[in-house]
Each structure stands twice: as structure tokens, then as C-alpha cells.
Amino acid sequence: MKASEREFVLSEMRGMLVATQGIMEGANRGDMQAVIKAASAAGMGVAADANPALIAKLPLDFKTLGMSVHQDMDDIAKAAAAGTPTAEILKMESNTLTKCIACHSVWQLQAVH
């Protein structure tokens, strides 16, 4: 992939990390509006903006795992909006982080110069 494409994907991952921190902070303060805002910022809406040519270059397993994390973020936002207890929100986020760890342990994005 091109360096600019690699940077786009890495930027998206950084966004997920920022969202995760926002979810954790909001949940720890009991601020479900902050959880909703943070989780929604990394949901499927973000994934819809991806360049189709770039998506075609990514391995299917990478895309599947990445999209499931975006969906998890939407699920966390919906759960927070529905009044799901904080402990359950944190469990959902923990399960999502397991996917992040799995992806980062397997994949490395190399740019072609």
C-alpha cells in the first residue's frame, strides 16, 4: 500500500484508541453521554468513509476484524443510550480491546516506497 494509505489506516486506528479512552473515561465518571459520543465517533459511520480502492488492498481477515470493532463501537453507543449498567459497558469495551490486541499481534502495514 502507499504511504498515504498506510497513514489513513493508522489514523483510523488512533481514532479508535481515542474513542476507547473516551469510553473508559465516560464510564468511570458515570457520564453515558460521553460514552455515546466517544463510541459513536468510531462506529460504522467512520468506516463508510474509507476509500474503496484502499479497502480492496486490505486482507479479508483484517477488514473483517476492523469492521467488527466499528460495529462494537456502535453497539457500545446504543447500550449506553439504553441505560446499560457501567459494568456491562466496560465489559463490552474489554471484549472490543481483545480484538484490537488480536489484530495488532498479527498485522503490520507496510508502505511501498
DSSP 81-105: HTT--HHHHHHHHHHHHHHHHHHHH
Reported pTM:
0.89
Q: Are 93 and 76 in contact (CB under 8 A)?
A: yes
Residues 48-72: tens digit of each pLDDT: 777 788 888 888 888 889 899 999 9
Query: Cα–Cα distance between 74 and 64 in angstroms, integer?
Result: 16
Chain CA centroid to CA 45, Å: 11
Query: Cα–Cα distance between 4 and 87 in angstroms, integer?
Result: 39
32: pLDDT strictly greater than 90: yes
pLDDT band, residue 103 (cuts 50/70/90): confident
pLDDT band, residue 47 (cuts 50/70/90): confident
pLDDT band, residue 37 (cuts 50/70/90): very high
Look at 38-52, 63-77, 92-106 and tell me which has the smallest mean pLDDT: 38-52
Max CA separation in the chain (angstroms): 49
Rg, C-alpha atoms of the chain: 15
- The predicted pLDDT at position 23 comes to 98
Residue 31 DSSP class: -
Mean pLDDT across the stretch 81-103?
Answer: 95
H-only helix segments in the chain: 3-29, 32-40, 44-47, 52-57, 60-81, 86-106
Query: Cα–Cα distance between 113 and 34 in angstroms, integer?
Result: 40
